[in-house]
Chain A
Amino acid sequence: METFYSIHPLIALLIPLIAIGLIVLSGRRPNIREFWTLAASIAMFGTIFLMLPDVLSGRYPGISLLNVSPGISLAFTVDTAGIIFGLCASALWIATSVYSIGYMRTLAEKKQTRYYAFFALCLASVVGIAFSANLLTFVLFYEILTIATYPLVIHKETPGAISAGRKYLAYLLTGGLALIAAAALTYHYAGSLDFRSGGFLSNLPGEPNLMLLFVLFLIGFGMKSALIPFHSWLPTAMIAPTPVSALLHAVAVVNAGVFGFVRLVGYIFGPQLFHDIGAWQILSIMAAVTIIISSLLAMFQDNLKRRLAYSTIGHLSYIVLGVSLLSADAWVGGVIHLVNHAVLKITLFFCAGAIYARTHVENISELNGMGKQMPITMGVFTLAAIGLVGIPPLNGFISKWFLGQGALDSGLWIYMGLLLLSGLLNAGYFFPIVRRAFFMTSEKRTRVSEASAFMVVPLVVTAALALMLGLVPDGIFHFFKLASDTATSIFSGVAR
């Protein structure tokens, strides 16, 4: 496991940044503008994918830029955890870009240049977060992500959108500020902020101080991960256009939050210290509570996107649970779920957006008979719902299996039960939608067709990706090997 100097991480970061300029310049010619977005997403994905062989063989590309504080530099290292997040986000950006073209043009939304430009900025921040080598770089890009997503949340500029944006900023800025305080404390205790697998904090400052530090990190990362009680910005932010909800609020922003927890437990505190101070219990209980409550709340939502939002909150806590259970299997399950949930949830949001774009239907109660009218969309929806419930052969089952194994390994049968219960609850809020779509007839006489190909093709592709990841977990991207390598590097040397 060594780091070598490579310019690839910097290129991956620069591509979306340069794209912002190109998008703004070509604002008057939509086709050229969309071309830049697609080109940037493919180029960024390609750059990250090219780094994969090195990372798989244990050689991590890294680059260190200027100092941003004496002794701390803006540094990037592409390790196994980071490349999982990076690959996932960049691959899904390609899908979302194609989807956005269809969605924005079908609905003839205004301010599309602003939309595409800030989207690129968000992806640049996500790459920065994924590849950051120390906590200060992480915090820098974390804050930029919050600000970059704000114009996307308030895109529609209605009073509802503006107040949703205010709530969004209030929650996420608070989290960011807690994170800054946490970073300062960490620097004070450890003298360095570089991530190291197995953690770099020692027990010197004493337990109460470390608990305070943990609470600050909890607030900081918990906001973006939508842990209860920090979750309420997520359903409110569903007022954004669906591609925004899909990529950002199911993949990028919230994954940045749980990725933060991955870094926290694995690379800052380290599993041993995390266990010793008892923080793992707090985190796992909060995750468990979030899973149950969010699934229950999901069942009462009529708005389709809000139901998906609560489902997201629950599934994010799967990842947090996996990270906090401190066993290698649970870790693999949690990290793999980061990818699996992202792919499945983005599919579901794509379907919801396609329905809205074609019919302006937002509520589940109006979905009667949609299966007959948009068979591909609803079929894919059903497939993705099955995946999230955790039924094989889709990928959701893989992550649940490993989470369950991890719970059993730690001797915590209750979490195993929790996972089973939550699967049932997932079914409880997804299958009514499927039932309405396929088995109930609607009174409306107007026939609608599938949404535009720009929207349907991406959602089929992501669903196919989910299926492939379920059948061959270590498929093209080797996510599975990356996740288990992460677990090995973190847990080696931990007496368990």
Chain B
Amino acid sequence: MMNHLPVIIPVALLFFAFITFLCGLWRRSLLFPLSLTGISVSLAAAVLGLVRVLQYGPLHYFLGGWAPPLGIEYVLDNLSAFMSVLVLLVAFLSMIYSRQSFLKEVPDKINALYPLLLLMLAGMAGIIVTGDLFNVYVFLEIASLTAYAVMGIGNDKAPVAVIRYIILGTVGACFYLLGVGFLYFVTGSLNMADVASLLPGLYGSRLVIAAAVFIVIGAGLKMALFPFHIWLPDVYTYAPSGVITFVAPLMTKVGAYILIRMVVTVFLPEYLNNTLPIMSIISWLAAAGIIVGSVMAIAQKDLRRMLAYSSVAQISYIALGIGLANPLGLIGALLHVLNHAFMKGCLFQVSGGIRYCTGLWQIPQFRGLGRRMPWTMAAFTVAAISMVGIPPAAGFFSKWYLVLGSVQADNWIFVAVIVLSSLLNAVYFFRVLEKVYLGEPGENPAVTAAVDPPGSMVMPMITLAAGIIILGVINAVIVTNILQPIASSLS
């Protein structure tokens, strides 16, 4: 039974996706409970998997009983167990949150929405647990297609934004496929571990270099690394608010996971740095992305668009950590994956909550909301403080490791970039906090009539906010037990 854990995680979600769809046709009230059950089953499997992996080492599952390298293998090691728990936990909280939001914004579409969301999560979970390169492509496209569909529901601006996402996302996935193809041509295998053992003898081959470049560009497009981020702001702004709380914290992280997996397990950083300076290019693009994202965020008046550009900057932190190619940098990147999922999940939930209660998006109109929506704004404050990087919230610690990693790499420019961007983050977040807490809610009737959203929406926000503080305080536990073993393969 324990050996089946890696496969239960995506398969349970797939199974429940179909059950939810069928039962939803029969009774609409079953949609939410069934979806929640599906996510809970996968979450339980993921948590159990993490515990087992920490105690006994990696878990392998051979799909259909066919052994690798010919068969497809699902692996739960430190990295995939960590990511799957993270993704499913945030998805669980988002599912609880978005029930009311869906009922208010897109009530006629929920029949299709819940199954598609479960399929998307199944795709994400599949990417994380699989140990086969082509399997990643399949699950990536499952996740992406359902994400396209789900983000385009709603108002009339969403489809246009999604078209650009479709085009760029497909280019990304296809580049990844091309890279995998080249790796297959040269090694004859599609299994990650197998390719990793075959690659060292082939380092001179130009095909491998081309494969590496294509895979990195593909993953970069999916994770919105600068300058491939252009699809992100529009999509995050116009998608329905319940949907965006699912997609925003998770989709780009999965892209980052693909990049990390390729770098840590398949290729190795010395290879990537010796032939083409791919890692340096990633880190410099990331540094540019941090600055550009933060500066663009300052210029925004729409809360969602500000959070979208902020996401670009935060993803670039993760990419910077990966590009530094030293253990501390990778630990910083992985910890930031965790922290950012929580922080952005909380922030988008707050933004959706404001929309739910007041219908407002524009920051200048938020005057005085702090008094009327105390719990919501408290969660926002905690998340904002964490984004700026103030202890004891979690954001401080991931930046701390990134700075340590940059110092170890002797790169002072990155240290300056990380430090300065915290100031830029402070500018746009404190501007919102000032508006919210220090204004009188005089004129706008929407604001004066506002209350906190219903409990099912507020509880996930508060849980995420509390989680941010807890993660900050216990970060050393996570780092020592889960993340350091992953990074030690780099040193």
Whether A and B touch (Cβ < 8 Å) is answered with: yes
Interface residues of A (CB under 8 A from B): 66-70, 139-140, 143-144, 146-147, 154, 157, 162, 166, 169-170, 173-174, 177-178, 180-181, 184-185, 187-188
In the complex, how many angstroms separate the beta carbon of A471 from the nearest chain B beta carbon? 42
Residues of B close to A180: CB separation below 8 A: 389, 399-400, 403, 419
6 further interface pairs, Cβ-Cβ under 8 Å (given A139-B391, A173-B426): A68-B475, A69-B401, A144-B390, A147-B390, A166-B434, A181-B415
20 contacts between A and B (CB under 8 A): A66-B473, A66-B476, A68-B473, A69-B475, A70-B479, A70-B484, A147-B385, A147-B390, A162-B438, A169-B426, A173-B422, A177-B420, A181-B416, A181-B419, A184-B403, A184-B406, A187-B404, A187-B407, A188-B404, A188-B407
Chain B residues 419 to 445 lying within 8 A of chain A, measured CB to CB, are: 419-420, 422-423, 426, 430, 434, 438
Bound together, the chains give a CA A68 to CA B419 distance in angstroms of 20
Residues of A close to B400: CB separation below 8 A: 69, 180, 184
Q: Mask for B448-491, Cβ within 8 A of A = 1, else 0?
A: 00000000000000000000000001111101100010000000
A70 close to B476 (CB less than 8 A): yes
Bound together, the chains give a CA A32 to CA B478 distance in angstroms of 41
Residues of A close to B434: CB separation below 8 A: 162, 166
B391 close to A140 (CB less than 8 A): yes
A69's partner among B420, B426, B479 (CB-CB below 8 A) is B479
In the complex, how many angstroms separate the beta carbon of A195 from the nearest chain B beta carbon? 18
Would you call B396 an interface residue if the criterion is a C-beta within 8 Å of the partner chain's C-beta atoms?
yes
Given contacts A140-B391, A143-B391, is CB(A177)–CB(B408) below 8 Å? no
Most-contacted residue by chain A among B400, B477, B480 (CB, 10 A): B400
Given contacts A68-B475, A180-B403, is CB(A143)–CB(B396) below 8 Å? yes
Bound together, the chains give a CA A184 to CA B403 distance in angstroms of 7
Most-contacted residue by chain B among A69, A166, A187 (CB, 10 A): A69
Counting residue pairs across A and B whose Cβ atoms lie within 8 Å, the total is 75
Residue of B nearest to A189 (CB): B407
Bound together, the chains give a CA A76 to CA B31 distance in angstroms of 53
Residue of B nearest to A65 (CB): B473
Residue of A nearest to B439 (CB): A157
Residues of A close to B392: CB separation below 8 A: 140, 144
In the complex, how many angstroms separate the beta carbon of A455 from the nearest chain B beta carbon? 28
Given contacts A162-B438, A184-B404, is CB(A69)–CB(B419) below 8 Å? no
Bound together, the chains give a CA A137 to CA B474 distance in angstroms of 14
Residues of B close to A154: CB separation below 8 A: 438
Would you call B397 an interface residue if the criterion is a C-beta within 8 Å of the partner chain's C-beta atoms?
yes
Residues of A close to B475: CB separation below 8 A: 68-69
Closest 5 CB pairs of A and B: A67-B476, A140-B391, A184-B403, A177-B419, A188-B407
In the complex, how many angstroms separate the beta carbon of B313 from the nearest chain A beta carbon? 16
Chain B residues 58 to 103 lying within 8 A of chain A, measured CB to CB, are: none
Residues of A close to B389: CB separation below 8 A: 177, 180
Most-contacted residue by chain B among A67, A140, A166, A180 (CB, 10 A): A180
Residues of B close to A66: CB separation below 8 A: 473-474, 476-477
A69 close to B438 (CB less than 8 A): no
Residue of A nearest to B472 (CB): A68
Bound together, the chains give a CA A146 to CA B391 distance in angstroms of 11
Residues of A close to B415: CB separation below 8 A: 181, 184
| B-side interface size class | 20 to 34
Do most interface residues of chain B lie in helix, strand or loop, or is the interface mixed? helix
Residues of A close to B430: CB separation below 8 A: 166, 169
Residues of B close to A162: CB separation below 8 A: 434, 438
B480's partner among A70, A177, A178, A184 (CB-CB below 8 A) is A70
Do most interface residues of chain A lie in helix, strand or loop, or is the interface mixed? helix
Bound together, the chains give a CA A69 to CA B397 distance in angstroms of 8
In the complex, how many angstroms separate the beta carbon of B317 from the nearest chain A beta carbon? 14
A181's partner among B403, B423, B474 (CB-CB below 8 A) is B403
Bound together, the chains give a CA A140 to CA B415 distance in angstroms of 18
Chain B residues 373 to 404 lying within 8 A of chain A, measured CB to CB, are: 385, 388-392, 396-397, 399-401, 403-404
Bound together, the chains give a CA A40 to CA B390 distance in angstroms of 26
B419 close to A178 (CB less than 8 A): yes
Bound together, the chains give a CA A147 to CA B433 distance in angstroms of 13
B423 close to A173 (CB less than 8 A): yes
Given contacts A68-B473, A70-B480, A154-B438, is CB(A188)–CB(B408) below 8 Å? yes
Residue of B nearest to A151 (CB): B437
B391 close to A177 (CB less than 8 A): no
Bound together, the chains give a CA A157 to CA B385 distance in angstroms of 20
Residues of B close to A177: CB separation below 8 A: 389, 419-420, 422-423
A143 close to B390 (CB less than 8 A): yes
In the complex, how many angstroms separate the beta carbon of A224 from the nearest chain B beta carbon? 15
Bound together, the chains give a CA A312 to CA B480 distance in angstroms of 45
In the complex, how many angstroms separate the beta carbon of A240 from the nearest chain B beta carbon? 14
Given contacts A184-B407, A188-B407, is CB(A174)–CB(B423) below 8 Å? yes
In the complex, how many angstroms separate the beta carbon of A173 from the nearest chain B beta carbon? 6
Bound together, the chains give a CA A185 to CA B416 distance in angstroms of 12
Bound together, the chains give a CA A171 to CA B408 distance in angstroms of 28
Given contacts A143-B391, A157-B438, A173-B423, is CB(A69)–CB(B403) below 8 Å? no
In the complex, how many angstroms separate the beta carbon of A156 from the nearest chain B beta carbon? 11
A144 close to B419 (CB less than 8 A): no
In the complex, how many angstroms separate the beta carbon of B62 from the nearest chain A beta carbon? 35
Most-contacted residue by chain B among A66, A70, A147, A184 (CB, 10 A): A184
In the complex, how many angstroms separate the beta carbon of B14 from the nearest chain A beta carbon? 38
Residues of A close to B399: CB separation below 8 A: 180
Most-contacted residue by chain A among B389, B407, B415 (CB, 10 A): B407
Residues of B close to A69: CB separation below 8 A: 397, 400-401, 475-476, 479
In the complex, how many angstroms separate the beta carbon of B392 from the nearest chain A beta carbon? 7
Bound together, the chains give a CA A234 to CA B202 distance in angstroms of 63
Bound together, the chains give a CA A170 to CA B391 distance in angstroms of 17
In the complex, how many angstroms separate the beta carbon of B319 from the nearest chain A beta carbon? 20
Residues of B close to A146: CB separation below 8 A: 390
Residues of B close to A70: CB separation below 8 A: 476, 479-480, 484
Residues of B close to A139: CB separation below 8 A: 391
Residues of A close to B391: CB separation below 8 A: 139-140, 143-144
Bound together, the chains give a CA A69 to CA B399 distance in angstroms of 12
A185 close to B407 (CB less than 8 A): yes
Residue of B nearest to A177 (CB): B419
Residues of A close to B473: CB separation below 8 A: 66, 68
In the complex, how many angstroms separate the beta carbon of A92 from the nearest chain B beta carbon? 25
Residues of B close to A181: CB separation below 8 A: 403, 415-416, 419
In the complex, how many angstroms separate the beta carbon of A132 from the nearest chain B beta carbon? 12
Residues of B close to A174: CB separation below 8 A: 423
In the complex, how many angstroms separate the beta carbon of A2 from the nearest chain B beta carbon? 27
Most-contacted residue by chain A among B391, B392, B423, B438 (CB, 10 A): B391
In the complex, how many angstroms separate the beta carbon of A246 from the nearest chain B beta carbon? 24
Bound together, the chains give a CA A170 to CA B434 distance in angstroms of 14
Bound together, the chains give a CA A177 to CA B392 distance in angstroms of 15
Bound together, the chains give a CA A178 to CA B423 distance in angstroms of 11
Bound together, the chains give a CA A147 to CA B419 distance in angstroms of 17
Residues of A close to B396: CB separation below 8 A: 140, 143
Residue of A nearest to B434 (CB): A162
In the complex, how many angstroms separate the beta carbon of A238 from the nearest chain B beta carbon? 19
Residues of A close to B416: CB separation below 8 A: 181
Bound together, the chains give a CA A154 to CA B434 distance in angstroms of 10
Residues of A close to B407: CB separation below 8 A: 184-185, 187-188
Bound together, the chains give a CA A220 to CA B430 distance in angstroms of 21
Bound together, the chains give a CA A69 to CA B484 distance in angstroms of 11
In the complex, how many angstroms separate the beta carbon of B468 from the nearest chain A beta carbon? 15
Residues of A close to B426: CB separation below 8 A: 169, 173
Residues of B close to A170: CB separation below 8 A: 423
Residues of A close to B406: CB separation below 8 A: 184
Chain B residues 113 to 140 lying within 8 A of chain A, measured CB to CB, are: none
In the complex, how many angstroms separate the beta carbon of B461 from the nearest chain A beta carbon? 20
Residues of A close to B438: CB separation below 8 A: 154, 157, 162
